[in-house]
Chain A
Amino acid sequence: MSTLAFGAFGDVRPPNPNDTANFPDGILSKIFSGMQAKGMTLAVDAGDHCFQSSISSGSYCHTQFGHFMNDMTTNYFGKLLPTMGNHEGCGTNAATTGNCTTWTSGLVHDYLVDIVQPATGQSSSPYYSIAVYGAWGTAKFVHVAANAWTSAQNTWLTNTLNVPTDYTFVMRHEPSNDTRAQGVTPSEALYSSHYSAGTLTLSITGHTHLVQLPGGTLPYGDQFGATQAYEVILGNAGAPLDAGPYYGYATLTRRASDGAIVAQEYEAVSSDGVTPLNNVADTSFRFAINPNGSPNSNTTLP
């Protein structure tokens, strides 16, 4: 990549299970076209791509995954790195406590085949990582599957995070303080350790249908979850909003002058779910971080 820049969003599903007719195609299309217009050639998502009541394969989520991919390929021509959410997992009615220990069948397998395979070229595992590089340095994107937590994933994550790169972005569906998913607590322990060592840049999460800045309770307050200093919540991409006036996405771009990553949230569709907002920047949701995860007070966009 000539420049380290990527889009990020999370949580795309209808309100009710099995309701493919109300999959948020309009919102998702605007998000993908917005990222395209912003020149993002790489994007990550924070999980939840569908809603079905069972964990069967070939069911409603299979169809909704088709909607997701069609919305993407119609409006966005970069690459997507998806993250497994509880709605792709092994809990009835998408229970956050659900945990898959195998993924060769059922809903989680559909997710791997329908979304992960065409997006990344592999369908062997719901957790994976990639590395990107350019004249600016190296970065790794580490996609944790907290709803498919196994000792093997723990070992993989430990080893992967130990690989030195200039930037490390970790993606996981559930935020740090929703510990119902089995992988949250153990992966968070690793994140925290690496953040303390200066080897973690940012944790990108979703699950709650809003955005929340790193290091506190802004902009929507403590009742919506306090974030770690190195954690952002980006969960407003089409699932019914819990807070905030719009559905949208963020861009995260490296600033050449000092290597900081500047994140900016954009408004794609109004909270009514239909009125376009033409990618207006949310001036209350911008932050900058250094490669080691520490805050950077200069939030000037590159």
Chain B
Amino acid sequence: MSWAGCVRAANGVAIVLCLAACKANSSAQRAAPPSQPIVSSVAPTVLAIVAKPAETVSVAGREPSVRPLLVPQAARALTPSSHFDINFWGNAVNTHTLLDAAGKGAVPVSEARFLWGQGQLYVAFYAGDLDLEVREKSHDGPVWKDDSVTLSFFTEAGKKRLISVSPTGVLADGTCPGDAKNLGDTRCDLHWESHARVGVDYDGTLNKLGDFDEEWNIQFAIPLRALDAAPEPGTRLRFALDRCDMAFDGQRACGAWGTSLTPAELVLQ
């Protein structure tokens, strides 16, 4: 290609998109001999650059984390799986990014969506994670020491039912005092079973650092009766969800939606 393939922008801004290497027309440039290979396979195109003032884009602010989440009915039953079906979850209510103790978006980012139907509470949980750390393999084992998410449902008696699940689908559940940090609290009763079904998916390699893990997902189907909740519109569940990212050297960051002191609320629609 010849140097003539270069085009200077008509408005005088010296930016060119070239079919061939562009000839320097400045004394500061280093000219390449014509025998040099082409710089680009791009057809000559003038890049007109017009300076205009920036426009302001408004972004709606986040409501407090304790706001009720109005949970729509699912159009059909769900068998939890590794597949995120937008035709099912598209209508779900979304926490968006979980918040840290300071009220800021917790990083790595996590979020959860909710639907209900067929007597089930459906939950889709997403977690960004560059270092998947999961070792527990036993039901009711210390899942909370791994990368995991915990759902807490508060009862009238000042207790809460906890369901913790890891990215590999290992589940622990039990009933604890309202102030228990996790199912490892000796006051917790692990005999309670949620009968939750889960489907999991993770992108990465477990317990291996520096290999670019990316994220994990868990889908839940939790029988509402197991939570002493009526499967009907208007039912309200006091609720919290939390996820602490586990790194190779221990806990790194936690995000939550609702807490034991200020539970969030799910309202079935």
Contacts and interface: CB of A to CB of B under 8 A. Distances in A.
Interface string A13-28: 0011111011000100
A164 interface: yes
B61 A271 contact: no
A197 to B, nearest CB: 14
Given A17-B86, A129-B42, A177-B210, A30 B18 contact: no
B130 A208 contact: yes
A36 B54 contact: yes
B105 A273 contact: yes
| Interface bin, chain B | 35 or more
A243 B40 contact: no
Contact of A245 (B52, B107, B215): B107
Interface of B is mostly: loop
B29 A138 contact: yes
Interface stretch (A75-83, A188-196, A280-288, A294-302): A75-83
Given A122-B42, A128-B40, A207 B106 contact: no
A18 B41 CA distance: 32
Contact of A244 (B25, B30, B106, B107): B107
Given A208-B130, A241-B109, A74 B57 contact: yes
Nearest to B43: A122
B19 to A, nearest CB: 9
A34 B59 CA distance: 14
B51 A1 contact: no
A180 interface: yes
Contacts of A34: 54
A242 B130 contact: yes
Contacts of A53: 83-84
Contacts of A122: 17, 41-43, 45
B84 A271 contact: no
Given A128-B42, A272-B62, 11 more contacts: A2-B14, A17-B86, A30-B59, A41-B49, A163-B39, A166-B30, A208-B212, A242-B128, A243-B130, A271-B107, A272-B105
